[in-house]
Structure 1
Amino acid sequence: MTDAYKDLQQGERGAWTSIIAYIVLAGAKLTIGYVFFSEALLADGLNNSTDIVSSIAVLIGLRISQKPPDEDHPYGHFRAETLAALIASFIMMAVGLQVLYQAVTKLITNEVETPSMIAAWTALVCSVIIYGVYRYNLKLAKRVNSQAVMAAAQDNRSDALVGMGAFVGIIGTRLGLPWLDVVAAIVVGLIICRTAWMIFRGTAYSLSDGFDESELEQFKETINTIPGVERLKDIRARLLGNQVLVDVIVQVDNDLNVTESHDITERIERKMLENHNIEHVHIHIEPIRINKRLKEKQV
Structure 2
Amino acid sequence: MTTDRFREIKRILLQILLLNWAVAGAKIGYGLMTNFTSMTADGFHSLSDGGSNILGLIGITIACWPADNDHPYGHRKYETLFSLGIAAVLFYLCFNLISEGIRHMRSPHHPQIDIVTLLVMVLTTFVNILVMKYEHKEGKRLKSDILISDAMHTKADVFTSFSVIVAMAGVKLGLPIVDPIVTIVISLFIARLAISIIRQGSSILCDTAAILDNKKIIDIVLTIDGVNTCHKIRTRGREDDIYVDMHVQVNPDMRVDRAHRISYEIEDAIKKGIPGVTDVVVHIEPKEK
- Judging changes above 3 Å, is the alpha-carbon distance between structure 1 residues 271 and 241 closer, same or farther for their aligned structure 2 residues? closer
CA contact (8 A) 2:34 2:111 kept: no
Question: What is the one-letter code of the residue matched to 2:244?
Answer: V
- Judging changes above 3 Å, is the alpha-carbon distance between structure 1 residues 37 and 216 closer, same or farther for their aligned structure 2 residues? farther
2:284 matched residue in structure 1: 285
Whole-angstrom CA distance in 1 between matches of 2:121 and 2:226? 62
TM-score, normalised by the number of residues in structure 1: 0.88
CA offsets per residue over residues 171-203 of structure 1, 9 Å max, x none? 232133222222221221111111111111211
Task: Give the drift of 1:42.
Answer: 0.8
- Judging changes above 3 Å, is the alpha-carbon distance between structure 1 residues 111 and 59 closer, same or farther for their aligned structure 2 residues? same
CA contact (8 A) 1:123 1:163 kept: yes
* SS of corresponding position for 1:230: strand
1:293 matched residue in structure 2: none
* SS of corresponding position for 2:174: coil
1:296 matched residue in structure 2: none
1:142 matched residue in structure 2: 140
Is 2:101 aligned against 1:103?
A: yes
2:204 matched residue in structure 1: 206
Structure 1 residue ranges, 4+ long, deviating more than 4 angstroms after superposition:
215-218, 224-227
Task: Give the drift of 1:221.
Answer: 4.6
Percent of residue pairs identical: 26
TM-score, normalised by the number of residues in structure 2: 0.91
Whole-angstrom CA distance in 2 between matches of 1:241 and 1:27? 36
CA contact (8 A) 1:79 1:241 kept: no
Question: What is the one-letter code of the residue matched to 2:61?
Answer: R
CA contact (8 A) 2:208 2:236 kept: yes
- Judging changes above 3 Å, is the alpha-carbon distance between structure 1 residues 286 and 170 closer, same or farther for their aligned structure 2 residues? same
Gap runs ≥5 in structure 1: 291-299
CA contact (8 A) 1:147 1:241 kept: no
Gap runs ≥5 in structure 2: none
2:58 matched residue in structure 1: 60
Number of positions where the alignment pairs a residue of Structure 1 with one of Structure 2 = 288
CA offsets per residue over residues 54-87 of structure 1, 9 Å max, x none? 1111111111111111111111111111111011
2:247 matched residue in structure 1: 249
* SS of corresponding position for 2:233: strand
* SS of corresponding position for 2:227: coil
Task: Give the drift of 1:212.
Answer: 4.8
What aligned pairs does 1:250-265 form with structure 2 within 5 A after superposition? Answer: 250-265=248-263
1:297 matched residue in structure 2: none
